[in-house]
Amino acid sequence: MKPFYFVAILLLSALNALRAQDLIVTSKGDSVNCLITKVSKEHVYFVYKNGEKATRTLMPADQVTYHKKKYFDHSALPAQTVRAYDDLPRFRISLQGGWSRRLAKVADVGDADLKEYIKGLKSGFHLGVDGAFFFTENYGAGLKYAYFRTSNEIDNVTVTTTTGESKTGLMQDKINIHYFAPEFWTRYSFADDKLILLAGASIGYLRYIDNGVLVDPLTITGSTVGVGFDIGLDYMITPHFGIGANLGLIGGSIGTMKYNDGTGEREVSLNDNQRENLTRLDVSAGVRWCF
């Protein structure tokens, strides 16, 4: 029976610890039964019962004369509130997708139909996944992957080969852009942690692949360093699951392209005014997991 008593004591101790409440004494002599979530040199952050709901706030440190964790035996806050605020999620995983628009200006190619064709390649869709670990309540770092795709095609295009031969057929582009990067995040929660505002910055690897056809199959590839910026808002349905919207910007330009027509591969260095600008705007929505 001794193991049973030992386990029972541990469970009761854990329950009492969960139900215990913290104390803040203000410079005016007021005592606040609350849950202290963070103490810094400038402020004391805490959650207290305001009517029938829990409210998160802060107090300047010079207005606090004394504070102590687990001072009271019983909490004035509901147990689920204590768990939610006392164990803030450190990990965040997001899956999202949406509309994208490449921001580069369309070159003056002379032919109106070709210009419209190129404009049709500016818009597409993207999918992405982000994973981050927040080493403090407000700052974290992680990894980012974003995939962009767009395509267009037009028939009855006539081209002249290097041998002077004219050919007529299909012109098609299926462009895929991959972005892999480490990302630094900052976040701020409000509305009792129901809403979380996030901003991120990243620098990583951009890979461009165009599986095209210019009468005959033609694959164009290239890579470069890319940078990314994100700003988003998450709405947490539960402390560990939510939905969100995000506005992202990914940029980079390629100065060297490889062309493969099936018979061989050649590498072409592009002039500054010919570089392939990959900068795009992403508007997305998705799901969030925090744990």
Domain residue spans in the chain? 21-86, 91-290
Distance CA 118, CA 107 (A): 9
For the residues of 58-121, what is the DSSP string, one character each? EEEGGGEEEEEEEEESS-SS-HHHHHHHHS---EEEEEEEEEEEE-SPPP--S-HHHHHHHHTT
pTM for the model stands at 0.72
**Angle ∠(135,146,246) on CA atoms, nearest 5:** 65
10 Å CB burial of residue 226 (0-12, 13-18, 19+) is buried
For 2-56, what is each residue's pLDDT tens digit?
A: 444 444 443 334 434 444 688 999 999 999 988 888 888 899 988 888 887 888 8
- Within this chain, domains 21-86 and 91-290 share the same CATH topology: no
Assign a CATH topology to domain 91-290: Porin (2.40.160)
For 132-179, what is each residue's pLDDT tens digit?
A: 999 888 899 999 999 999 999 999 888 887 677 888 999 999 999 999
> Is CATH 2.30.30 the right assignment for the domain spanning 21-86?
yes
Crossing angle of helices 2-19 and 79-86, in 10° steps, is 80
For 212-263, what is each residue's pLDDT tens digit?
A: 999 999 999 999 999 999 999 999 999 899 999 999 999 999 999 999 988 8
